[in-house]
Chains A and B, each alone.
Chain A
Amino acid sequence: MTALITPTSSAAEAGTAPSAGQAEAAQRRRTRRRRWALGALFGLLALAFLAALSVGRYSVPLNETARILAHEALRLAHLDGLIDLRQTWTTQERTVIALVRLPRSLMAVLAGGALAVSGAALQALFRNPLVSPDVIGVSSAASFGGVLAIALGGGGLVLMGGSFALGLAAAVLVTTMGRIRASSPILTIVLGGIVVGAFFDAMVSLVTYLADPYTTLPSITFWLMGSLSAATWTELQLACVPVAIGLTVVMALRWRVDVLSLGDADSRALGVDPARLRWILIVAVSLMTAATVASCGVIGWVGLVIPHLVRLLLGPDHRTLIPASFLLGGAYLLVVDLLSRSMTETEVPVGILTAILGAPFFVYLLVTQTRKEANDA
């Protein structure tokens, strides 16, 4: 049982002067903890990034990797004329790093981060820890867009465009459904998401069934499994904009997400309109999810597992949870992608690995979390 409450001894007349130091100290402690955690996660991401660049079937020494990176950065900033790095690397090494692994790794960070942030925001939004970007139907709709584009012979831009457009359309459809039954909007949105998702899953199956088994079917199947192997600078640039927009919105609103996660009645009482905030966040999340599916197919489990792990490590405060989810999500997908392309002779689609690694890990999380809560109580 907790400490005794003595409300009558409380004093409105106590004033703020003696407490100012205490409040500040508490705040400073918490800020320091938050900075340390985010710093450590950033370090982890940087490590994973360097490893992803240098390790692989064609291994490049770490110092050469760093030099090539520095060279590329200088070239991009048009400073290569001013500072001249002596070329110690081979052309082949540069090609592998700059043209293959760099866009691929950046895409992994972008996609992993975006999926994890989407999951974190949605879990708060629906006050349900089992929600992930797949639940609101956006992933399914975006996959249908992509599959349709492949079946019709389109690739690259057409694929991204179709997938992105349908993903957004699904988000708008689902949020509009949430307004039909204003008394229980969350339930309606989740049900709407499941319905929309099931519909587009069926459409994906239909297209897959009708696809030419010798030409389009293999590419459809491979794309659906989710893979970063197609990542190029062009794709990265295209995915960057919607992800950046969505991420900026979620980051800016992350304290309000805290308020929203208390529930509709509470947030209304605190002066935050839950319906409006939910709408803005769903659009932001859909932008990120659709862009991710459009550029690397459906990568499951990142959006579910990563926010849980971060919440377990750092608590439920979204001011930390959202940026930490981005960092850890990015690092996770980098590592899984590294495994997927170096474990076996042929590349294993990353979407398969995230599920194979994610599912048992999730069970482990559930067990430890339950035990932790039992100890707390």
Chain B
Amino acid sequence: MLEARDLGHRYGAGPWLFRHLDLAVAGGEVLAVLGPNARGKTTLLTALAGLLRPKEGQTRCQGGVGYVPQGHDAQHRFAVLDMVVMGRARLVRSWSAPSQQDIQAAWSALERVGIEECAERPYAALSGGQRQLVLIARALVCDPTILILDEPCAALDLRNQRAVLAMVGDLARHGIGVVMTTHDPSHALSVATQAVLMDTRDIHCGVSAELITSQSLTDLYRTPIHATTVEAPFGERAVVVADFGRRPGAARRQENQIEKEAVPI
């Protein structure tokens, strides 16, 4: 259980990124944080993870917190197992190297995300989705009760986005509380139980299905956005459409698909 009471932070004398914020994430819950660029999402996550001391308020967590920073295109060639073992850094004494026990824990974490067959390959040779799973495994290696992910799906193709989101759902099913940021509201609608919308003025918290509507998204991103559900061949799914405009020559949908009436969800 992760709890934040009366949390507030700002850089220097700048504007408050958030203030008087109360949050609680229990095991098995997924909290999605949405907001425009440079709104302070990462700052909020680092404060929740205990990596940043907030100007006001405090966070409390029973059990450990695992933090996965935003994925980077790292070119280093560390073996995947070595990468994951580094997740034990806070448990390894300052002047020593990881023990057999640490390596064992790393291997288990790799199994948990299902990529132990990549253990001895260089990290840089993996696909973006696999890299994200390695970073998740690295955060799982200390057995956290809360996992905080900063844009886990950024720069991933659709298949890899699906893999990472499935992993998030899987971890929540096994009792881990997850906090994640995303720029795609449909990610939040598909995996998150709760949502935080960081508006330019306000911060709204609530159940994701209730909070994420056409209206709230339009206000949040200051762009016409339409949230709806469609009946896809694989079941009913929430979709979010932004109005990017439409050029006369742009592709037109060929076949007519069954579509429900647009209703806010």
**Which residues on A are within 8 Å of B, measured CB to CB?**
1-3, 5-12, 14, 16, 19-20, 22-24, 26-27, 29-30, 252-256, 258-259, 261-263, 265-272, 315-317, 319, 376
CA distance A8 to B118 in the complex (A): 17
B86 contacts partner chain A, Cβ-Cβ < 8 Å: yes
Contact B118 A3 (CB under 8 A): yes
Residues from chain B with Cβ under 8 Å of A26 in the complex: 81, 107, 119-120
Q: A residues within 8 A CB of B125?
A: 2, 376
* Closest 6 pairs between A and B when the two form their complex, measured CB to CB: A271-B90, A10-B114, A23-B107, A7-B167, A269-B67, A270-B89
Interface centre among A16, A30, A265, A270 (most CB of B within 10 A): A270
Chain B residues closer than 8 Å to A22, beta-carbon distance: 107, 116
- The contact of A270 among B82, B90, B97, B100, by CB within 8 Å, is B90
In this assembly, does B54 line the interface, its C-beta being within 8 Å of a C-beta of chain A? no
B182 to chain A, nearest CB (A): 17
- Interface size of B by CB at 8 A reads 56
A267 to B90, alpha carbons, bound, how many Å?
A: 10
A3 to B80, CA, bound (A): 14
B residues within 8 A CB of A11? 111-112, 114
Assess the A7–B166 pair: CB atoms within 8 A: yes
Residues of B within 8 A of A272 (CB): 89-90
Closest B residue, CB atoms, query A268: B51
A315 B107 Cβ-Cβ under 8 A: no
The answer to whether the Cβ of B129 comes within 8 Å of any Cβ in the partner chain is yes
User: Would A256 and B81 count as touching, CB distance under 8 A?
Assistant: no
Q: Are A7 and B72 in contact (CB under 8 A)?
A: no
Report the Cα distance A263→B78, complex, angstroms: 13
Asked if A8 and B166 sit within 8 Å, CB to CB, the answer is yes
Chain B residues whose C-beta falls within 8 Å of the C-beta of A1 in the assembled complex: 127
With a cutoff of 8 Å between Cβ atoms, the chain A residues found around residue B164 in the complex are 7
Q: Which residue of A lies closest to B98 (CB)?
A: A255
B103 located at the interface, meaning its Cβ lies under 8 Å from any Cβ of chain A in the complex: yes
Which residues of chain A come closer than 8 Å to B76, judged between CB atoms? 261-262, 316
Q: Which residues of the partner chain A approach B223 to less than 8 Å between Cβ atoms? A: none
In the assembled complex, the Cα of A10 lies from the Cα of B113 at a distance in Å of 6
B100→A24 contact, CB < 8 A:
yes
Q: Which B residues touch A7, using CB under 8 A?
A: 113-114, 133, 163-164, 166-167, 170
